[in-house]
Structure 1
């Protein structure tokens, strides 16, 4: 990669991250206010949900949504100003990693602060992560899962952008399969459901193998997006 290309990618990554981080700060503020409000309900308080866990579930949907919205809204804009598709894709991928880890790191910091107050000291253990680490492993694992949801949204966006409505619907199905595979690797809700209908059970994987599997899925997802983007006609009007 040429030096000027590296500079373009670095600048574009910062720009994309900055835009999405502004959205994310608004999102995190709203979720935090909802969390504070929910603690005044006895049933929610008895559930003993920590802030990091509280952020995780809606953050999957949030990352999926910005994965869909951002390419549809901004791809033409960046290409119009001379960015190549490759530079845009690499920059978006870097920004996605930054946003996912930022969400979970900020959630962990806020959770640690709130644990000083008894009213908001919910448990932060993640049920599907068996680890002695209270913070590092959960942050890494949850961030990787959020990256996958962002890639799933990105695949949907590029499917609609390249193939129109019917082709886009096909990519919705592909994205759902992608998300299902992530669930099988980590949360296993679909695995337990599938065991009811399949003549075999899906084995539990260690954290190490699940991380490797997630990395492979991220690579596959980005490869699919790259192949679509190489052939897509950029709409500059």
Structure 2
């Protein structure tokens, strides 16, 4: 990664962290209120980390779309190469995912340490009660894939127009559905949810390797499109 890519990554990370500074506190307050007032076993057993993960998939999807529809034009217009933009955007997304998941993991652990009565029924995740590292890393992979598919969708509309955008939406639906089949999380399964189709949930390590492979393929596809995208300057 070149120096400009790192600089762009830092700039984008700081810009998007301003959104996170609003997003996370509101989300945490919503979680406390929901667990406190709703007497539903499924909700009361959901950890702060899992609750945050569920909404962070959509947050990262939106960040990916904005990256292509706003930041690509902005940086290339000021002389930044497409390669540096791609490196910076990817680096900032990784930093964003690590920050959101990492910070929430720490807060979830603190809540558990204090042993507050209303949170006594909470289960960390479907991976197990004490699977802190596995859960955090797994959630990181999943939210990164959502960022990448959002990035792909944004580029599809920006580069190819409505028809191309529709194709990338279909591709994105397939990608997130296949990836979510690897895990026992309750993330959306847009296509697979229409069919009575399930596969045995694989070993966590296998799922991580498969998710990493999917993310790598998506990143390569995004880079190929970024390199060929003409910039629209109003």
Whether these two folds match at TM > 0.5 is yes
Deviations 1:17-41 (A, max 9, x none): 1111111121101101111221331
Task: Check whether the contact 2:177–2:192 (CA below 8 A) recurs between aligned residues.
Answer: no
Match of residue 214 from structure 2: 217
Report deviation, 1:121: 4.6
Task: Check whether the contact 1:63–1:150 (CA below 8 A) recurs between aligned residues.
Answer: yes
Report deviation, 1:192: 8.3
Match of residue 106 from structure 1: 103
Report deviation, 1:196: 3.5
- Stretches of structure 2 lacking an aligned partner (at least 5 in a row): none
Structure 1 CA distance for aligned equivalents of residues 117 and 210 of structure 2: 38
1:149-228 paired onto structure 2 within 5 Å: 149-187=146-184, 196=196, 202-228=199-225
Match of residue 31 from structure 2: 35
| CA-atom RMSD in angstroms | 2.3
Report deviation, 1:88: 0.6
Task: Check whether the contact 2:73–2:232 (CA below 8 A) recurs between aligned residues.
Answer: yes
Deviations 1:112-159 (A, max 9, x none): 2222133345524211x25x7431111111011000000010000000
Report deviation, 1:194: 7.9
Structure 1 CA distance for aligned equivalents of residues 192 and 225 of structure 2: 34
Structure 1 CA distance for aligned equivalents of residues 161 and 11 of structure 2: 28
Secondary structure of the corresponding residue to residue 159 of structure 1: helix
Match of residue 5 from structure 2: 9
Report deviation, 1:101: 1.3
Note closer, same or farther for the CA distance 1:133–1:39 as it changes in structure 2 (3 Å cut): closer
Aligned residues: 228
Structure 2 CA distance for aligned equivalents of residues 39 and 193 of structure 1: 27
Q: TM-score normalized by structure 2?
A: 0.89
Match of residue 134 from structure 1: 131
